[in-house]
Amino acid sequence: MASSKTLVDFFQPAKRMKLSETLIPKSNVSSLCKSSSNNDPNTDAAAITDSSSSNLTTEQRTRMEFNKSLANAKRNIKLCSDRISKAKEEGKGYVKLEELLVEETWLEALPAELQKPYAKNLSLFVEREMSGNVPIYPPAHLIFNALNTTPFDRVKAVIIGQDPYHGPGQAMGLSFSVPEGIKVPSSLVNIFKELKQDLGCSVPSHGNLERWALQVMKCLVSFRNLVHSAIVNDI
């Protein structure tokens, strides 16, 4: 019996797909292989476009969709970082909060939301704090990481954390998530334990939840357990 995939599979670095030459022309296989080892989001997106007409399996199409979403998330983060760098070059102490939400689907869903009185007051408070001497977490370019990573039309569940991160290198703009190499928060450890107890999922070795935020790991044909696919599809 074929083994089913668990959430731990989605916490591992993206692996190069083994693509059959009978399904994809050699030129397209070459493009995909290059994109898997290239960190340039534009290259990844180009490879996806070039291969979109190929007769791929469901799992291959899902992997390509994941790479496309990952490239978009990287582009958004870079755009925020560039805006912050430009502000520093111009001698500004901070970037306006409204300039750090760059995901187009959210801008369309929340037109002028950050211009409303309550949002302006909140933005001014955060901007004053950012321009002071007190460390602010997460870093400015990750303040809207949750929205810039997950397009509005892909949101299926909203996870809200209770406690803020208070140490450097921990916060990454995603509730419960910490970068690889950082101790996994006890609350996230409990979440992993529940998943293992309820569904038999393996416990990941780190707490980076970026793949949850990308929201593209849908039901794959290799999933044996419908509950597994439902959980992954929801978070």
Q: What is the pLDDT of residue 54?
A: 65
CA 63/CA 171 separation, integer angstroms: 27
Q: What is the pLDDT of residue 210?
A: 92
**pLDDT tens across 1-58, in order?**
444 444 444 444 444 333 333 333 333 333 333 333 344 544 444 454 454 546 888 8
pTM greater than the 0.75 cutoff = no
Q: Which residue has 């140490």 as its token pair?
A: 167
Percent pLDDT > 90 in the chain is 37
User: Residue 198 sits in a domain of what CATH number?
Assistant: 3.40.470.10
The helix-helix angle for 41-51 and 58-89 (nearest 10°) equals 150
Mean pLDDT, the chain, whole residue set: 75
Residue 139: inside a domain = yes
Q: Which of 159-163, 207-211, 224-228 holds the top average pLDDT?
A: 207-211
Span of 57-61, 100-104, 133-137, 218-222 with lowest mean pLDDT: 218-222
Residue 233: inside a domain = no
CA 134/CA 130 separation, integer angstroms: 8
Question: Is residue 163 annotated as a catalytic residue, yes or no?
Answer: yes
Q: Say which of 9, 44, 163, 198 is annotated catalytic.
A: 163
Residue 4: inside a domain = no
Q: Domain limits at 109?
A: 60-214
Span of 49-58, 69-78, 160-169 with lowest mean pLDDT: 49-58
CA 88/CA 82 separation, integer angstroms: 10
CA 28/CA 42 separation, integer angstroms: 16
- Res. 215: pLDDT tops 80: no
Residue 45: inside a domain = no
Residue 39: inside a domain = no
The structure tokens listed for 232 are: 């992954």
Q: What is the pLDDT of residue 145?
A: 95
Give the chain's domain count.
Answer: 1
Task: Let me know the angle formed at the C-alpha of 103 by 102 and 108, rounded to the nearest 5 degrees.
Answer: 105
What confidence category does residue 130 fall into, taking pLDDT thresholds of 50, 70 and 90?
A: confident
- Res. 82: pLDDT tops 50: yes
Residue 130: inside a domain = yes
Residue 189: inside a domain = yes
Query: Do residues 231 and 157 lie in contact, with contact meaning Cβ atoms separated by under 8 Å?
Result: no
Residue 24: inside a domain = no
